Amino acid sequence: MALISNWDKTTIKLLYGQAFRAPNPFEQFYVASTTNKASPNVKPERIKTYELVVEQYLGEHLRALGSLYQYDISGLISQTTDPADGLLFYDNVDNITARGVELTMEGKWATGLEGRLSYALQTTHNDSTERQLTNSPQHLVKTNVIVPLVTDKLFAGFEGRYTSSRLTLAGNNASPFYVLNMSLFSQRIVKGWELSGHINNLMNQKYGYPGSGEHLQDVIDQDGRTFWVKLKYRF
15-38 pLDDT tens trace: 999 999 999 998 899 887 778 888
Mean pLDDT for the chain overall: 91
| Dihedrals phi, psi of 202, to nearest 5 degrees | -55, -40
Of residues 98 and 83, the one with the higher pLDDT is: 98
Q: Give the pLDDT confidence score for residue 3 in this predicted structure.
A: 59
Amino acid at 88: L
As a whole number of angstroms, the distance between CA 232 and CA 73 comes to 43
Amino acid at 150: V
Cα radius of gyration (the chain): 22
Q: Give the pLDDT confidence score for residue 193 in this predicted structure.
A: 86
- Average the pLDDT over 206-232 and give the result: 92
Identify which of 48, 22, 18, 218 has the alpha carbon closest to the alpha carbon of residue 127.
Answer: 48
* Position 7 confidence tier, pLDDT thresholds 50, 70, 90: low
- Residues 6 or more apart whose CB falls under 8 angstroms from that of 83 comprise none
| Residue 10: alpha-carbon gap to chain centroid | 27
**Residue 6 predicted with pLDDT over 60:** no
Burial readout 74-99 (b: 16 or more C-beta within 10 A, e: otherwise): ebbbbbeeeeeeeebbbbbebebebe
Of all residues in the chain, what percent carry a pLDDT higher than 70?
A: 97
**Residue 190 predicted with pLDDT over 90:** no
Q: Give the pLDDT confidence score for residue 215 in this predicted structure.
A: 83
Amino acid at 83: P
| Dihedrals phi, psi of 81, to nearest 5 degrees | -110, 130
Q: Give the pLDDT confidence score for residue 1 in this predicted structure.
A: 65
Q: Give the pLDDT confidence score for residue 147 in this predicted structure.
A: 95
Of residues 22 and 191, the one with the higher pLDDT is: 22
Q: Give the pLDDT confidence score for residue 70 in this predicted structure.
A: 97
Q: Give the pLDDT confidence score for residue 18 in this predicted structure.
A: 96
Say how many C-beta atoms besides its own lie within 10 A of residue 72's C-beta: 16
Least confident of 38-42, 161-165, 202-206: 38-42
Contact 154, 147 (CB under 8 A): no
Of residues 90 and 116, the one with the higher pLDDT is: 116
